[in-house]
Amino acid sequence: MADTRRLFFALDMPAGVQRQIVQWRAENFPADAGRPVAAANLHLTLAFLGDVSIEKQKALCQLAGRIRQPGFTLTLDDAGLWVRSRVVWLGPRHASLGLIQPANMLRAQAARNGCYQSPQPYHPHVTLYRNVTQSVAIPQPNFRWQFKVEEFVLYESVFAQGRTRYQPLERWKLSN
Ligand code: 2AM
């Protein structure tokens, strides 16, 4: 599609946590488990926007800037396999309001501006593997990553030279 960008709002993760997760993944999954997501691409999506024109991007950024929500601590202490989408994910066992509220606001703003939102309930997650092999076993949830979230980010998904890269375009503070 001409003059559109593939966009999503997400939380990024500290580089140290990304590295720890990738190390844990290497130690706990077989080499042929699936297509691993690169450390720098690990993130948690709040709202997926799809292919968006520059005008719509501007409108959605203005609305995002009106969101007043406090920062919070994100805990990743759960993992699972979605068989249909062939994804292995990490996520919070209990999603806090601090996470759900901004996600709901961004998803509602996106829907009102014509960005299709899945009718499935929002399931906050960090994708670890794509195209997983059927037989992959999920390790016991004997892990817990925790970090403070103080901002959310608009990302562009860029596919070039056979790789997907997430380019941050704009950031907004979450603050009390
Ligand atoms: P996923 O990791 O579960 O595939 C960039 O592609 C981000 O947007 C990823 O976090 C991806 O989630 C999410 N995403 C891609 N397509 C989506 C869709 N149709 N609905 C919701 N989220 C989507």
* Atom number of ligand 1 nearest to Cα 126: 2
Contacts of 167 (CB under 8 A, 6+ apart): 155, 156, 157, 158
Is the CB of 128 within 6 Å of ligand 1?
no
Counting from 1 in the atom list of ligand 1, the atom nearest the Cα of 44 is: 10
Query: Can you tell me which atom of ligand 1 is nearest the CA of 43?
Result: 10
- The structure tokens listed for 55 are 């005008």
**What pLDDT score does 1 carry?**
58
Which of 48, 126, 158 best tests ligand 1's pocket when mutated (most atoms within 8 Å of CB)? Answer: 48
User: Which pLDDT does position 175 carry in this prediction?
Assistant: 80
pLDDT reported for residue 135? 84
Global confidence as pTM: 0.96
Are 121 and 103 in contact, with CB atoms under 8 Å apart?
Answer: no
Q: Is the dihedral of CA 129, 134, 135, 138 positive or negative?
A: positive
pLDDT of residue 3: 94
Q: Whose CA is nearest to atom 3 of ligand 1?
A: 127
- pLDDT per residue as tens, the chain (176 positions): 569 999 999 999 999 999 999 999 999 999 999 999 999 999 999 999 999 999 999 999 999 999 999 999 999 999 999 999 999 999 999 999 999 999 999 999 999 999 999 999 999 999 999 999 988 999 998 899 999 999 999 999 999 999 999 999 999 999 86
Residue nearest to atom 21 of ligand 1 (CA): 48
At 2 the pLDDT is: 65
